[in-house]
Structure 1
Amino acid sequence: MKLRNTIFYFLILSAMLSPILMSSQGCVAIRHFSCSMGNELESNLLAEGDFQIGMNYRYFKSFRHFKGTEEEPDRVSNNTEVINYSHSWDFSLNYGITNRLYAGLTIPMVLNERSSLYEHGREERNSTFSRGLADIRLGIGYWLFEPETGQKGNLALGMGVKLPTGNYNATDIFYNVGPDGSSQVRPVDQSIQPGDGGFGFTADFQFYRALTTNLFVYGGGFYLFNPKGTNGIRTSRETLSPILENEAIMSVPDQFSLNTGFGYSISETFSASLGARYEGVPVEDVFGSSAGFRRPGNVLSVDPGISFTQNDFSLNLHVPVAVRRERPQSVTDLETQIGTGQPRNGDAAFADYLINIGISYRIRGKEVDKLESKSDFQID
């Protein structure tokens, strides 16, 4: 009985490895982002002295353009769509300070490609690239209930900081944009910049609850506060039209994510989950200025997943599929609309789905037997 409960405990944890705190799909997401504590609930359910090392890989291709909630299908049919290919890796290290207090470090790396016509004089399609270290996150969290009293469920609250370690002025060659159609080296689009150039802080929560022997509910979310208004990096959007002068400099926007769902243990090593995710970039920041160019937007996704767990090793796959995408008016859209008297709502390209693959391994502390005796779910 103890073995079955212990196995179910780890199935609950591993089923939640990827879906909790990921960034939005496509151009709406300025860069890959997750909470300071990474993407793994299991990483935060640690005994005193435990370490958890992990890696989460994410891929998407964004190409469907939206204004508001309406898609612009002609962009694809006319071959004028902007296509982003995004690869990112989160390398995480978490530590159990006590059985309830934990800390974590996330080091992200990115590799991005952006293909477009309009950024290259509208004459031919070309690509720009960015790669390297993104913004490092540090965080700390606390489970509200003792392990022995919260065996069927628990709730954690956390906070963290985002350091401006990623390059927010990555450049590449843009064709047909200089004098007499020459090429120029310019900053790449905001959507593929590895960093945002601002110091930020996060607030997050996560919970789980066993409903029956094999069924559980989970959820979590985070909000990234970016008080800095703009980062001083030119977008060159004012060269497309003089009315876009207010979008000449990149904004440093907030970002958010929420998710919830159900999981089911199929066997002693496999579990499946099905959830919903809502995530994106808000129109205005909670603190500080919201000036400069940003693509606000949000995505609602259905998030199926499957996980494999054996001993202290976990492997998972999640493929969130977008069911609703929205690109609302930005602050600069509204400014332009007021100044010109003409309606203005910029667009953004979104992905149809994401691919998230997570791997983690726990290095046990000295009090293994003591914690395991406290951690077993009593759900007979």
Structure 2
Amino acid sequence: MKKTIVISFLYLLLTYHAQSQGCVAIRSTGGFCTRDQAMEHGSNNWMLSVNNRYFKSFRHFVGKEEQKHRTEQNTEVINYSYTLDLVLTRIFKNGWSLALDVPVISNDRSSLYEHGGNNGGKGARHFTSSFGLGDIRIVGYKWLLDQTKMPKGNIQVGLGLKLPTGDYRYQDYFVKNDSTKVLGYVDQSIQLGDGGTGFTTELNAYYNFNSVIGAYTNLYYLINPREHNGVSTARGGTPSATAVQYGTAVMSVPDQWMIRAGVNATWQNFTLSAGVRKECQPAKDLIGGSMGFRRPGYIVSIEPGLNYQFKKATIYAYVPFAVKRNRIQSVADMLRTEATGVHAQGDAAFADYLVNIGCAFKF
């Protein structure tokens, strides 16, 4: 029987951005597993995965409604995000493995309101940027079923530690006018880390109906107990009275989660896959408080993929296309709504698609 060739651990946690993609700062992509890695559990091997992740976010949403006037008036915020994700995995006997995920991130953010203001015209649009190491993750995995007794399917669980190695206090200059620049912390969506030590949980599973058709699912959750990291959201200025009143003067350290499921078809060295993907930054965390500034929301995508298997390597491409985006109310929005009696809900910019291209080597 031809092995399903999509590689496990293709998408490990970047650095918390992954973010739905864009101003909703989901920096992770979770895991991906199929039969090929389960078959390795009887021997000791190494695997290196090199993943390239890119997206451009620019479509603003409040709830599920797109704010089309933002692009029409040239006041939209545009994030360009690229991550090189290096994952080294040691595969042990008896279904155990250990992975080290090291992300390197480059972000650019183009806006008017952070600089000369939305009424400043095209000349008021400027960039802030960030570059460097992201939040490293160490993860242990275990296949639960004996592959010799259950050759068609398996279930894998993973527990990980996310370390605050990414600079969550990154600064750049905000251009206020022709003669004035102010040094301040860049927006939360392009910070390199969140400043929190987190814990990740994963459940990955697959089932092969025959030598051609199979199915997979991946569940991932990042628990961030720290409530906020103390980094100002005022971009070099003074926090507003409203930001102080509702707790958004500093950046939150949010949880995040992802669900993926789909089917794949293998023919010779090729595997085609089609699935559904949902990424979310919730308004409230499982553990710890939920105050501080965050843009909670989720994105649902249709995710096609293509893999090609060599003897010791696999190359792949996955491109999720957004079909639903929702910037939900944050805790601060809820508090403001309750205090004023007027519904409050911020906006966030989302991408149309996300590109994951890479390769993995076994040695």
Q: Normalized against structure 2, the TM-score is what?
A: 0.91
Q: How does 1:1-380 map to 2 (within 5 A)?
A: 5=1, 8-11=2-5, 13-14=6-7, 18=10, 23-30=18-25, 32-35=27-30, 46-47=40-41, 48-122=43-117, 123=120, 124-176=124-176, 182-236=180-234, 241-245=240-244, 246-265=247-266, 267-363=267-363
SS of the aligned residue for 1:284 comes to coil
Q: Which amino acid aligns with 2:241?
A: P
SS of the aligned residue for 2:94 comes to coil
Checking the alignment, whether the CA contact within 8 Å between 1:31 and 1:193 is kept in structure 2 is no
Shift of 1:241: 5.0
SS of the aligned residue for 2:304 comes to strand
Shift of 1:20: 8.2
**Closer, same or farther in 2 for the Cα pair 1:290/1:68, shift >3 Å?**
same
Shift of 1:146: 1.1
Shift of 1:89: 1.2
Partner Cα separation in structure 2 for residue 240 and residue 168 of structure 1: 18
1:279-322 deviation digits (Å, cap 9, x = unpaired): 11001000001010001010100000111001121000111000
Checking the alignment, whether the CA contact within 8 Å between 2:274 and 2:303 is kept in structure 1 is yes
Shift of 1:334: 1.2
Shift of 1:21: 6.7
Checking the alignment, whether the CA contact within 8 Å between 1:58 and 1:89 is kept in structure 2 is yes
Structure 1 range deviating more: 152-161 or 337-346: 337-346
SS of the aligned residue for 1:295 comes to coil
**Closer, same or farther in 2 for the Cα pair 1:29/1:343, shift >3 Å?**
closer
**Closer, same or farther in 2 for the Cα pair 1:196/1:45, shift >3 Å?**
farther
Partner Cα separation in structure 2 for residue 130 and residue 31 of structure 1: 16
Identity fraction in percent: 39
Instruction: Select the structure with the greater relative contact order (CA < 8 A; seq sep ≥ 6).
Output: 1
RMSD: 2.1
Q: Unpaired runs of 5+ in structure 2?
A: none
Structure 1 range deviating more: 65-74 or 24-33: 24-33
Q: Which amino acid aligns with 1:9?
A: K
Partner Cα separation in structure 1 for residue 12 and residue 253 of structure 2: 23
Shift of 1:121: 3.2
Q: Which amino acid aligns with 2:340?
A: T
Structure 1 range deviating more: 26-35 or 105-114: 26-35
**Closer, same or farther in 2 for the Cα pair 1:88/1:225, shift >3 Å?**
same
Shift of 1:17: 6.5
Checking the alignment, whether the CA contact within 8 Å between 1:28 and 1:297 is kept in structure 2 is no
Q: Normalized against structure 1, the TM-score is what?
A: 0.87
Shift of 1:49: 1.4
**Closer, same or farther in 2 for the Cα pair 1:359/1:289, shift >3 Å?**
same
Aligned residues: 350
Partner Cα separation in structure 2 for residue 110 and residue 340 of structure 1: 40
